Structure 1
Amino acid sequence: MSNESGATLTYAEVGATAGTLPQGYHHFTLKRRIGSGRVLFERAGGEILAYRMQKGTGIFHGASTPTAEVGTLLTVRLGVGPLAITAPCRVVYLLGESDRSGFAYGTLPGHPEIGEELFAVEYDAADDSVYGVVTAFSRPGAWYTRLGGPVVRALQRYIAGRYIAALPTSP
């Protein structure tokens, strides 16, 4: 994994996936029920911190730490063969709340998008439900993502669905 430890994030709104998403970006949130119970919530939270969402989609390339920590450098690889793009990111915050667990990463120079993505699991005590959640804001960071427009957005939503499908589930 290349060393981008000194690289600056490509956007100013660091941490915005934890609250109000900033203007000037494409926004999306995908939230799907994966099962029920605190045991599933705890297990899924641990899996997210171990990059299970990225590994489960087959796009995980590498990380500078075995589990997500603030400052971890992470790369995903999009595409196949010589046409594949390695996209560098840095973990910008962790969620360690009683009913929310996960992390967010932001884009570094060389990533085809500019923005941030949150990977989380949420527990709803009202009905014991557990949800996988992906929230992101982004805009094109390269000519080919700008050119791809709606196709790129559809691909992002598709991959977000695959991220959540990679989590453990219960009936």
Structure 2
Amino acid sequence: MNAAAPLDDLNYPEVGASTDVDAPLPAGYNHLRHRALLGHGRAALDAAGTAVLGWRMHRAAGVRITADADRATRGVAVQCAVGLGPLRAGAPCRVVWSTPDGDPDRYGFTYGTRRGHFALGEETFLVELAADGSVWFTVNAFSRPRRWYARLAGPLLPLAQHLFARHCARTLTHLATRATRATH
């Protein structure tokens, strides 16, 4: 998808507000910022970044993903299925931002909720190489419940989102560690 890909099916107005992980998130939403050390070096960065952009992190973390493309780029429609068995909820999203090609030290994307999603908001997943060679994973998100059952869940939804961010970090740490071992 190109930079002009339509984003007109999103169900919230603050599109792109989570892409700058250092900027304030919009008011009126639950906020999530989670940062975790994944490992060290280029092999760890590339393994984790490829896993994020290629949906592998989500799948390894137990999310069923169906996407228009094999790689998260702006405009790609994504259907996430979260939950267990018959309690699995569909969560339609669209990628609103991804790291530009040619940025060798950052991999990531942001997806936002589309019409039909049980919530409103967006989530950014970013893997970065620091100057000291450490590799960091950041989840930056804002959301609020939209459907009655999501509102009924109350504080459980933000808690589940925070637990998922931690789970993604553990998943990426495992993937990055395996890649680092394979190069030595």
TM-score by length of 1: 0.90
Q: What RMSD over aligned residues (CA atoms) do the two structures have, in Å?
A: 1.7
Indicate conservation of the 8 Å contact 2:32/2:142, yes or no: yes
Give the whole-Å Cα distance in 2 for the aligned partners of 1:68 and 1:169.
Answer: 19
Q: Identify which of 163, 169, 176 aligns with 1:158.
A: 163
Give the whole-Å Cα distance in 2 for the aligned partners of 1:79 and 1:18.
Answer: 26
* 1:77-104 C-alpha deviation (Å, 9 max, x unpaired): 1122322111100000002344321100
- Quick check: 1:23 aligned with 2:30? no
Q: Identify which of 65, 68, 72 aligns with 1:68.
A: 72
Q: What percent of counterpart residues are identical?
A: 40
Per the alignment, residue 144 of structure 1 pairs with 149
* 1:130-160 C-alpha deviation (Å, 9 max, x unpaired): 0111110001111111111111111111111
Q: Unaligned regions of 5+ residues in structure 1, if any?
A: none
Q: Unaligned regions of 5+ residues in structure 2, if any?
A: 1-5
Q: What stretches of structure 1 move > 4 A for 4+ residues in a row? A: none
- Quick check: 1:47 aligned with 2:51? yes
Q: Identify which of 102, 107, 112 aligns with 1:101.
A: 107
Number of paired residues? Answer: 166
Q: Normalized per residue, which structure has more strand?
A: 1
Q: Cα distance, 1:10 vs. partner? A: 0.7
Q: Identify which of 119, 126, 132 aligns with 2:125.
A: 119
Amino acid at match of 2:43: V
Q: Cα distance, 1:71 vs. partner? A: 0.8
TM-score by length of 2: 0.84
Per the alignment, residue 88 of structure 2 pairs with 84
Indicate conservation of the 8 Å contact 1:63/1:72, yes or no: yes
